[in-house]
Structure 1
Amino acid sequence: MTKVSKLSQKIIVVLVLTAIFMATQMSAVLSGSIDFTKPEFDFDKIIFTTHQPYSGYENHMIDGNFGFLGVKGGGLYILNDAFSGRPTVTNVLQNSVCKNGRYAGKKLSGGNVYSFDLSYDAKQIVFAYTDAQNSYGVWNENTTYHIFKVNVDGTDLTQLTDGSVNDFDPRWLPDGRIVFISERRGGYGRCHQRKVPTFNLHTMNADGSDIRCISFHETNEWSPCVDNNGMVAYTRWDYVDRGATHPHSAWITTPDGLDARSITLNYPNSGAEWWKNVPMMQNSLRAIPNSNKYVATAAPHHAQNYGPLIIIDPDVEDDDNLSTITKITPDCKYPETEVAATTDQKYGTPYPLSEEYFLCVYDPNANTNGANKRYGIYAIDTKGNKSLLYSDPNRSCYSPVPLKPRPVPNIIPGTTKPTGQAPDGVVSIMNIYDTLLPFPSGTKIKELRIWQVYPKTTVLANDPIVSYEGTESLWAGRNTRGLLGSVPVEEDGSASFYLPAGKPVFFQAVDQDGTAVQTMRSDTYLVPGQTRLLCQGCHEPARKAAPNPESVPLALRREPSKITPDPSQGARPMSFPRLIQPILDKKCISCHNGSRVPDLRQGNIDSQTKWFSSYKNLKPYVALFDEMYPGANWDRVYPRTEPGKFGSRASKLYQKLKTGHGNLTQDELHSFIIWLDSGIAPFFGDYKNIDAQLRGEQVEPSLE
């Protein structure tokens, strides 16, 4: 064979291989059963970011929101002729120069673009950007996300937020304001051995002014969206007296943060091993057009925001299992419940076109190392079909959104912004006997206790070890808390009382003996300017319609009660050295002095926990949520409280003391009751000022 023939043969082989490759690529674009002539696909441009999953650091649901983990080189783009099979890409920020703030006169280049939203008229984009200075665990203006807005054509680039906190996940509200997630409120996570700030819902004007915190929940929140009714749906880590990894469920609130409520699966209860077979986290929520349903990513706790895609139907009765949830990607299991945390993270950032068709990102090989992931933009349907629209050869795509106008939802009237100290609002409960699980027979509720949970103000989970659960793991942190006091409950089960704004609280129903019968393991709050919060009952069925009252509830016929502060020294914040140890010294150690079990002397302060010996020795006599059910531990705490089966009523200590053992006064017995009923029987009342607390001094909470 001549050299020319050999060369020709090689050329033919190359051409054939190239043709096969191109055909494969074209097939990848056009394959599947997605019919782009459907009315859902009445657009031809898609906005998206290139946002590479980080690798090499902590792999946790929190971390993707930290700017120092942003992979440099991300941008904001428009995919043109999206369904043609030959799309082109426009870099929105290529020629954009910021007109104000610290970035005035500069381009946003070399850093990372994260989350964004398109205005209802499809003319402006609001997005989060960071310089992505890779200084792990360092918070400054170069390592955090800040929010910007820009016109779709790249003009009028404006900086809206700045500082040493992360601001991200911005979404346009119907009235022109912006809701977003921010670390501005302060506080830290309770299950970390590193710095992990808490971030919550905030709003601001479209020019970045008038920033308001609209959630005083004590733990993290994510990915708000505005639904078709103008409400804000988002993800909340509901972590008061629960296990660390359940739940992170869908919640809903008004654009001002009023009346925050769970949408679904806040109390997972799928049998003996209730923590299995349900989504760990419902994130990246988006409201489906012309529907009450939402689409979301079923993400893990210990990995990034990818997983199977689900539809949440709030019109279906929630069975605390999977009744409200339908998986629309059958080729993907729930990470961290059905499979390992980093397994089956194939999908992410769904955008609904209808109840049947969606845009999303997808990587069939996503179980590889984060640096190798290449999520492309796909159109999918609920039948398991998918078509690749675009894939960047160097980076992953993220959050595809159609570039077209969309209807403006209802504008929900807001609260009046207080000009000074916000006045107390009124909380009203119609009938505390309206419950999901019945109270013990013969129970008469006499009052409500109001507990405040304090956000964590120290960085490490076990600094300090607040309560017994903290010895189970380095990551088993619990809230400190304080008893604000109590209010009366009327004969018909109604209550009405004033509550200060800005304090995360939970309520307890207290019987005629002064013991708690039911308790919340969540928190609620009033935002400044909120005048009223209404509750039907005490953990009543969520879909049960309130009955027409024969008359106005008794508590609503009178002036709301003022909270009567609890008189016990050491109840606010709740401190074992101040509340319980003085009683032990006065009434108990004459017998329980080492010659009788338990030894209730203060003893030496433990070098690890800083606890008194008496506190450690009382643990076997205390009822704790994380020990009540088979399989329970600090990470998997059964989330539902059964009336009458917790706290003092379930403790060996109270059963002994109420017989007259120790010859306690009523006030002394009450101190033991509230300590046991608090949910965790804490040792420390605050995260700081440890030495002062050990001396039994009054210490005010560092962050309320």
Structure 2
Amino acid sequence: MMMKYKIIFCAVILITPVTFANLPPLDTLNSGVFTQSLKNLPDEFDNIEEIIFVQRGGYEDPHWYANIGYFCDNENDPAYTTGAQLCKLNLKTGKITIMLETAQGCIRDPKVHYDAEKIIFAWRKDGLRHYDLYEIDIDGSNIRQITSGPFDDYEPEYLPDGGIVFVSTRARRWVGCWMTQVGTIHRCDGDGKNIKMLSCNIEHDNTPSVLPNGQILYMRWEYVDRSQVEYHHLWTMNPDGTNQEIYYGNEVSWGVFLSCRPIPNDERVMGIYSPGHGHRDQYGWLSFFSRKYGPDDPRGLEHIIFPWGKGMLADPWPFSTETVLAAELGKSRLVFVTKNKNDAKYTPYAIYEIKNNDKKWLTQSPRPIMKRPRERIIPTRSDSASSTGMHILVDIYNSQNLKGIKRGEIKKLLIIEILPKPVNFSGGPDTLSWLGSFNLERILGTIPVESDGSAYFELPANRPIFYVALDENDLSCRRMQSFTCVRPGDTMACIGCHNSRNHSNTNAGGARRIKAIQRSPSKIKKIEGIAGVPDFMRDVQPVLNKYCIRCHNTEDRKGRLSLEGDMSVTYSISYYSLAIRSQIGDGRNGLGNQPPRSLGSSASALLRKLEGSHHNAKASREDWLKVWAWTEAAAPFCGTYGGLRNQKQQNTKAGVFANRAGGVLQKRCYSCHKPDGKGSSNRLVEAFDWDERRKFIDRPTGRHERLVLKDDPARYFSWNVLINATRPEKSAVLLAPLAKEAGGWEACPDVFKSKDDPGYKIMSAA
């Protein structure tokens, strides 16, 4: 169960509203200026007279993104903070000017225009629930609204073509693994008109900036068939949304790359590496990011660790590789960071700090007021009149991690769309999957791959799509574990899959012409007889009923396994049993870039059994395809987001039984099945400590990967197999301790001699 962090600060604000009298007064602000630091600013500040910044309340939710909208279980529980000021600091005089302030709203993300005459920022006005974009002249006059509507628009950045790129919740989707709304990359004209969604991500995009070549650099979080907490890295796109590709780190786990900007006269960018699954308020370690060695080479990431600790900074503005303006977390300071000449280490120097900070406000988003050249303007390639785009794959064999896959072995690409989450009831995957995918996937069909490894095909535009390479038997050779997107009317090309990008492709020009582009683009061929979005009970359980339950039922219990469709506390017993026995091949929410044939249909033990290898249980092609499609679509239990549990329901059904029967369990069961019995193979648990499990795994694992052991105790002692909610009298928790002559299994001897035992009656009634 995902535990929700309550917004204690916001709750206090709602009870005792902030007034202007509560805001830090001007004289208090001025007392926080470090005049000695201002006298010793690096040379890069010589032509800069003022900087802007925001000071505001901090967020309470620990996630870096949970700072807009509200929590899904209570629309009156906001994720945003309250109270803020947009300020200017004169570096020559030390004077602080409050340009704009709000008592019960908030101000965030100010950026200075190229001509240094205006500022764009996100403002949630007093009494409103959403951020809109506003501009203000540099002297504090002429405030004007740019965007409006029942959405959050934030993290804006000026574009060289006169437009604005920003993050917005206009796509109307929710975080798959948490309780808040999703923001993705959008753009609009300079006056707020012509708003367009550029990113089709179903999770968060954040902190866009512009590279010298005119592309947008941004953080993209995604978890396609992999862990939800490990992959949030740098991507680029053109200002019209075309040419979306990895910049750095899509296979680098355990860090969030935020607020990255180009460094003048250097090929690297500088930004924040927010460790792990990220830090609230987007703080982290100041770092360099380079794609010189390839998009995933560890040499491309260099942390700047300060002598005074982990260096938790935010919102850096690099003047050079040696001088940076930033916000510091520990004491709510603005700092400049400079490289020491004697030891080449970096040291922060405070230039401003909030004094008497009893409200625990933060300083954020320092930006110099300075003119700067516009970046290159990239011509538009997208055509909004079209509903499709094209993709050219030059050579699928020009790919990393294809060991064991021979040239010519891949015959098709399976095209799958990841579906956004339009409703939300909790921060977990129940009942979509048992600790597997948080997302639903829709199978669109297949396209052919030529003998030279090339493919040319049409895709629906503006949808998150990924591919599965299939062999001649329709078994998965390799899954993408990321997604791509084509823009309307555009043609996208790639030379291979997960390639290093440090060498040319082997299937271009001269004698070796690319076969696929010698013909018209392939249309996606629909697969007959399968559901686009599979559902276990609708599509798979009937197949189990036909081929499996004659042996694997409650009565015969072959292999101590029932594959009947009875429901347990959250899932059907059959679904949970297949998952905990590693019969599916869905990856269990682990690391990315998995080896060939380790995910999907090639890794499915259930499909192998249905091919006749298991006691002649050979399924028809029609039935096999249903299970195949379900496997390739991430093996969901429930095929609709409407099946998600709400926060209060998510983990309570088993708790109800344990509470009602707790006394009996304590006296009659826990002497053997100890809930806290470390190392015990028969404890009554759903899952035990991940670190304890990890000792038995001989491969790299994700930090939050749902590890399943070869002979996992949960296959016998989870509430999801012990309780039968459809036929309670068939519950294993009742039959296992009941004597055979009384109709039980007597797997636990000398517990219940008959159904008249008071303990049995209490457990049965529970």
TM-score band w.r.t. shorter chain = 0.7 to 0.9
Out of 456, 460, 463, which is 1:496 matched to? 456
Out of 563, 576, 591, the residue aligned to residue 524 of structure 2 is 563
The equivalent residue for 2:627 is 672
| Structure 2 match to 1:165 | 151
What's the CA shift for 1:414? 1.5
Alignment counterpart, residue 259 of structure 2, candidates 265, 272, 284: 284
Aligned residue number for residue 374 of structure 1: 332
Within 2, Cα distance between the matches of 1:224 and 1:403? Answer: 19
Q: Which amino acid aligns with 2:498?
A: H
Contact 1:199 1:219 in 2 (8 A): yes
Kindly indicate whether the alpha-carbon contact (under 8 Å) linking 1:70 and 1:132 is maintained by their aligned counterparts in 2. Answer: no
SS in 2 for 1:445: coil
Matches within 5 A, 1:420-431: 422-431=386-395
* Per-residue deviation, 1:376: 2.5
- Compute the displacement of 1:266 (Å): 1.4
Check if 1:200 corresponds to 2:184.
yes
CA-based RMSD? 2.7
Q: Quick one: which amino acid aligns to residue 59 of structure 1?
A: P
Q: Work out whether 1:453 is the aligned partner of 2:411.
A: no
In the alignment, is residue 143 of structure 1 matched against residue 96 of structure 2? no
* 1:352 Cα deviation from its structure 2 partner: 0.8
**Distance between the aligned counterparts of 1:259 and 1:43, measured in 2?**
36
User: How big is each residue's C-alpha offset from its partner over 1:265-304, in whole Å with a ceiling of 9 and x where there is no partner?
Assistant: 2112xxxxxx5xxx61111111112333211112243531
Shift of residue 504 of structure 1? 1.0
- Pick which of 435-444 and 404-413 moved more: 435-444
Distance in 1, Cα, partners of 2:144 & 2:49: 27
Q: Is contact 2:401-2:593 (8 Å) kept? A: no
Which residue among 378, 385, 406 is the counterpart of 2:347? 385
Distance 1:90 1:565, change over 3 A: same
2:198 aligned with 1:214: yes
Instruction: Tell me by how many angstroms 1:496 deviates.
Output: 0.9
Is 1:91 matched with 2:94?
no
Shift of residue 403 of structure 1? 0.8
* 2:53 alignment partner in structure 1: 48
Q: Which amino acid aligns with 1:452?
A: E
Whether the aligned pair in 1 keeps the contact of 2:416 and 2:444 (CA below 8 Å) is yes
Structure 2 distance, partners of 1:157, 1:645, is: 57
> 1:94-493, aligned counterparts within 5 Å?
111-131=105-125, 142-192=128-178, 195-268=179-252, 280-300=255-275, 301=277, 303-304=279-280, 305-321=282-298, 323-331=299-307, 344=310, 346-363=312-329, 366=330, 373-381=331-339, 383-393=345-355, 394=357, 395-419=361-385, 422-442=386-406, 444-459=409-424, 460-462=426-428, 464-469=430-435, 478-493=438-453
Q: Do the aligned partners of residues 66 and 398 (structure 1) sit closer, same or farther apart at CA in structure 2, a change above 3 Å counting?
A: farther
Give the Cα separation in 2 of the matches to 1:640 and 1:186: 30
CA distance in 2 between partners of 1:240 and 1:593 (Å): 34
- The amino acid across from 1:554 in the alignment is K
Relative to structure 1, the CA distance from residue 674 to residue 180 in structure 2 (aligned partners, 3 Å threshold; closer, same or farther) is same
Between the aligned partners of 2:539 and 2:104, the Cα distance in structure 1 is: 56
Question: Does the 8 Å contact 1:622/1:681 carry over to 2?
Answer: no
Whole-angstrom distance in 2 between the partners of 1:203 and 1:332: 40
Alpha-carbon separation, structure 2, partners of 1:600 and 1:504? 37
Contact 2:250 2:296 (8 Å CA) reproduced: no
Q: Given that residues 360 and 380 in structure 1 are in contact (C-alpha distance below 8 angstroms), is that contact kept between their aligned partners in structure 2?
A: no
Distance 1:285 1:166, change over 3 A: same
Aligned partners of 2:405, 2:271: CA distance in 1, in Å?
42
Question: For residues 552 and 349 of structure 2, what CA distance do their matches in structure 1 show?
Answer: 73
Other-structure match for 1:615: 575
- Partner of residue 544 from structure 1, selected from 500, 503, 509: 503
Cα–Cα, structure 1 residues 349 and 614, in superposed 2: closer, same or farther, change >3 Å? same
The aligned residue for residue 744 of structure 2 is: none
Unaligned residue ranges in structure 1 (runs of 5+): 1-21, 95-107, 134-141, 269-274, 334-343, 367-372, 471-476, 628-633, 692-704
Q: 1:567 to 1:554 in 2, by over 3 A?
A: same
SS in 2 for 1:298: strand
1:416/1:522 CA distance change after superposition, 3 Å: closer
Give the aligned partner of residue 532 of structure 1.
Answer: 491
**Contact 1:425-1:531 within 8 A present in 2 as well:** yes
Out of 656, 659, 664, the position equivalent to 2:609 is 656
| SS of 1:308 mapped into structure 2 | strand
- Separation in 2 of the partners of 1:553 and 1:442? 19
Q: Aligned partners of 1:243 and 1:441: how far apart in 2?
A: 25
**Counterpart Cα distance in 1 of 2:83 and 2:530:** 57
SS in 2 for 1:348: strand
Q: 1:47 to 1:28 in 2, by over 3 A?
A: closer
Q: Partner residue of 2:467?
A: 507
TM-score, scaled to structure 2: 0.72
User: What do residues 221-244 of structure 1 show as CA deviations (whole Å, max 9, x unaligned)?
Assistant: 111001111110111112112222
Secondary structure of the equivalent of 2:57? coil
Confirm or deny that 1:516 pairs with 2:480: no
Q: 1:567 to 1:294 in 2, by over 3 A?
A: same
Residue type of the partner of 1:49? V
The offset of 1:432, in angstroms, is 0.8
Aligned equivalents of 2:245 and 2:337: distance in 1?
32
User: Letter of the aligned partner of 2:621 in structure 1?
Assistant: Q
Structure 1: which amino acid aligns with 2:622? D
Instruction: Give the distance between the partners of 1:90 and 1:442, measured in 2 at CA.
Output: 67
- Paired residue total: 589
Q: Identity rate of aligned residues, in percent?
A: 27
Quick check: 665-674 or 423-432, which moved more?
A: 665-674
Q: CA deviation at 1:553?
A: 0.9
Greater RCO, 1 or 2 (C-alpha within 8 Å, sep 6+): 1
Residues 464, 687 of structure 1: 8 Å contact kept: no
Any idea what SS the aligned residue of 2:411 has?
strand
Deviation per residue, 1:11-39 (Å, 9 max, x gap):
xxxxxxxxxxx999544555xxx663x35
How far apart are 1:558 and its partner, in Å? 0.3
Question: 2: CA distance between counterparts of 1:508 and 1:48?
Answer: 47
Is residue 306–residue 345 contact of structure 1 (8 Å, CA) maintained in 2? no
Match of 1:685 in 2: 639
2:414 counterpart letter in structure 1: R
What is the rounded CA distance, in whole Å, between the counterparts of 1:93 and 1:132 in structure 2? 12
TM norm structure 1: 0.78
CA shift for structure 1 position 169: 0.2
* Matched AA of 1:457: P
Give deviations 1:60-100, integer Å, cap 9, x for gaps.
212234594554442222222x1x4x411233348xxxxxx
Asked whether the equivalents of residues 566 and 574 of structure 2 are also in contact (C-alpha less than 8 Å), the reply is no
Distance verdict in 2 for CA 1:674–1:598, change over 3 Å? farther
Does 1:577 find its partner at 2:537? Answer: yes
Answer whether contact 1:307 1:332 (CA < 8 A) is retained. Answer: no
CA contact (8 A) 1:221 1:234 kept: yes
The answer for the alignment partner of 2:664 in structure 1 is none
SS of 2:546's equivalent in the other structure is helix
Secondary structure at 1:224 match in 2: strand
